[in-house]
Amino acid sequence: MPWYKNAVFYEIYLRAFYDSNGDGHGDLRGLIQKLDYLQELGVDCLWLMPTYPSPLKDDGYDIADYRSIHPDYGNLDDFKALLEAAHARNLRLILDLVINHTSDQHPWFQSARADRNSPFRDYYVWSDDPQRYKRARIIFCDTETSNWTWDEQAGQYYWHRFYACQPDLNYDNPAVQDEILDVMRFWLDLGVDGFRVDAVPYLFEREGTNCENLPETHAFLQRMRRFVDEHYPDRLLLCEANQWPQDVRAYFGDTEGKEFHMAFHFPLMPRLFMALAKADYTPIRWVFEQTPPIPDDCQWCTFLRNHDELTLEMVTPEEREWMWKTYAPQRRMRLNLGIRRRLAPLLDNNRRKIELLNSLLFTLPGAPILYYGDEIGMGDDLNLSDRNGLRTPMQWDASPQAGFSTAKRPYASPVPTPGYRPQEVNVAAQMADPQSLWHAIRRMIRARKQYPSLQCGTLRWLEGNDPSIAAFERACNGQRMLLIHNLSSQTRPCAVKITNAKKLTNALTGQEFIHPLELQNYRLAPWEYLWLLLS
Ligand code: GLC
């Protein structure tokens, strides 16, 4: 089985993780010091948000140099040391590869805008007419009013799907395609284990379309995969395409050729939150029914939260309103088509609800990814703009700077909200307490890695007459597990009847559970979950 299929992933915002030199910014050397922690938690693969030189207008998703490290974070030697240290601990590391656009500070764009005859002019998408590609939506709809921005120096409009400071690259130009493969070669030669590829659906533009998921985009991605397969087998390409399952399915490739090994499952995420708040598992079941099968060597990457707003692009307008009303009652909690809050605050800091959603994440199909800090239930800071409120320093201990930095003024302060401050939420205290959320998550990670049926088993829903009980079986090579979740705030009879098992073992504690015939009468506490091994 390819390594990524049963891996547990962990997303890191390097600036927030650990500051090794006291300058107020987390850095590569700091992460090296925390690898033991990550190993102890039990994750397998780290995804680093962009670490390249950048003016940081979109936190590094605006790259000014693809082949170097932002000085805040260290240098290439530090990066090599990190890779070596990670690999020595059996941890893999993937980078964020932002290929749809660069920063407007990138030398390519600087040259392109300065001179119509520059060889780089055609690296970007220019127009005299800002009415082209009208059908393409605006993604950062809270800040941008058009996908075209007039450039005084260039004397033309340029195309951008995100912030105006992020001009889109022109993939119709073969030189751009070659450049990107060359960038990949650079990092793959250094030994990175792959890439999380950013904003994949928008590479090409075609009049009369919404400029997403175009055949030309797929053709380039097949080229990218051929390149990786040929020279770097065993490395991972993970696709960020915020699209419906049938559209994302195409990013795994088809008979023409392969594309990504993995893709995020965006539509599942809001439905986990919906199911919980409605105490009804139907939305989860529905989204799995909409999810087409994928090739054997591919895997979904599932998540609860990440560094962006909790996106509500993959729900209906009514569902979006409902999600906003339920999970973002204050206007300032909303951003674009989403909610800029972390997991714990979204769930009222309710330990049972936090564990329950994590249990679904770790037992449903797909390889799960954790967002840094969510393993201890970190909070967010709504006073910070954009998505910065969920990118605050990792809370290592109870000290005022959370053990993150010795600087007087770090890039951001730890979350100041009562209930979430470092003295209330931190790694050291939770590691020392076997009853903590951290230990609960760690147990889930361990159990998940122990049982093949959780890694790639089939999924079968067990019908009951209570929609608040999400019960399903996962099975693989004769190994079977029964997963039961009470989504409601009330005690509920389990109502699941099983006839084909002699013994039930609690997979999280290793202890024998009640007799299978008694399961039906078992009463589940509010938001209780059970991982049961059937034998
Ligand atoms: C992706 C990233 C997001 C970024 C955007 C533009 O959606 O997750 O953080 O702002 O791409 O690069």
pTM over 0.95: yes
Helix (H, G, I), strand (E, B) or coil at 312: coil
Angular region, 28: left φ>0, alpha ψ -120 to 50, beta rest: alpha
Going from the Cα of 286 to the center of ligand 1, the distance in angstroms, rounded, reads: 27
Per this entry, what is the length of the chain?
535
Backbone angles phi, psi at 202, to 5 degrees: -110, 20
Atom of ligand 1 nearest to the CA of 387: 9
Going from the Cα of 453 to the center of ligand 1, the distance in angstroms, rounded, reads: 33
Largest CA distance in the chain: 78
CA distance 453 to 477: 8
Give the containing element (helix H, strand E) for 181.
helix 174-190
Residue located nearest, by CA, to atom 4 of ligand 1: 61
Going from the Cα of 199 to the center of ligand 1, the distance in angstroms, rounded, reads: 7
- Pocket residues: Cβ below 6 A from ligand 1: 58, 61, 98, 162, 198-199, 240, 307-308
Going from the Cα of 61 to the center of ligand 1, the distance in angstroms, rounded, reads: 6
pLDDT of 463 over the 90 cut = no
CB 315 within 8 A of CB 270: yes
Give the containing element (helix H, strand E) for 327.
helix 317-327
Residue located nearest, by CA, to atom 9 of ligand 1: 308
- Look at residues 514, 505, 510, 515 and name the one whose alpha carbon lies nearest to residue 482: 505
Residue located nearest, by CA, to atom 12 of ligand 1: 61
pLDDT digits (tens, 9 = 90+) for 137-174: 999 999 999 999 999 999 999 999 999 999 999 999 99
**Burial environment of residue 463 by CB neighbours within 10 A (0 to 12, 13 to 18, 19 or more):** exposed
pLDDT of 465 over the 90 cut = no
pLDDT band at 184 (very low <50, low <70, confident <90, very high): very high
CA distance 287 to 299: 16
Going from the Cα of 162 to the center of ligand 1, the distance in angstroms, rounded, reads: 8
pLDDT band at 256 (very low <50, low <70, confident <90, very high): confident
Residue located nearest, by CA, to atom 2 of ligand 1: 198
Give the containing element (helix H, strand E) for 245.
helix 245-249
Residue 23 is among the residues annotated as catalytic for this protein: no
**Helix, strand and coil in the chain, % to nearest 5:** 35, 20, 50
Going from the Cα of 55 to the center of ligand 1, the distance in angstroms, rounded, reads: 15
Pocket test for ligand 1, best of 11, 47, 58, 310 (most atoms within 8 A of CB): 58
Going from the Cα of 483 to the center of ligand 1, the distance in angstroms, rounded, reads: 34
Residue 122 is among the residues annotated as catalytic for this protein: no
pLDDT digits (tens, 9 = 90+) for 65-90: 999 999 999 999 999 999 999 999 99
pLDDT of 382 over the 90 cut = yes
Pocket test for ligand 1, best of 59, 162, 306 (most atoms within 8 A of CB): 162
Which one is catalytic: 44, 72, 240, 375? 240
Q: Across the strands, what pairs with 474? A: 459, 481
Atom of ligand 1 nearest to the CA of 308: 9
Pocket test for ligand 1, best of 56, 243, 305, 308 (most atoms within 8 A of CB): 308
Residue located nearest, by CA, to atom 3 of ligand 1: 308
Going from the Cα of 383 to the center of ligand 1, the distance in angstroms, rounded, reads: 21
Full DSSP string of 60-124: TSS-S-TTS--TTT--HHHHHHHHHHHHHTT-EEEEEEE-SB--TTSHHHHHHHH-TTSTTGGGB
pLDDT digits (tens, 9 = 90+) for 100-143: 999 999 999 999 999 999 999 999 999 999 999 999 999 999 99
Residue located nearest, by CA, to atom 7 of ligand 1: 199
Atom of ligand 1 nearest to the CA of 140: 10
Atom of ligand 1 nearest to the CA of 100: 12
Query: What was the pLDDT predicted at 249?
Result: 97
pLDDT of 495 over the 90 cut = no
Which one is catalytic: 58, 198, 259, 381? 198
Q: Helices 268-278 and 351-363 meet at what angle, rounded to 10?
A: 140
Torsion of CA 502, 507, 511, 513, to 10 degrees: -40
CB 294 within 8 A of CB 300: yes
Mean pLDDT of 227-231: 98
**Burial environment of residue 36 by CB neighbours within 10 A (0 to 12, 13 to 18, 19 or more):** exposed
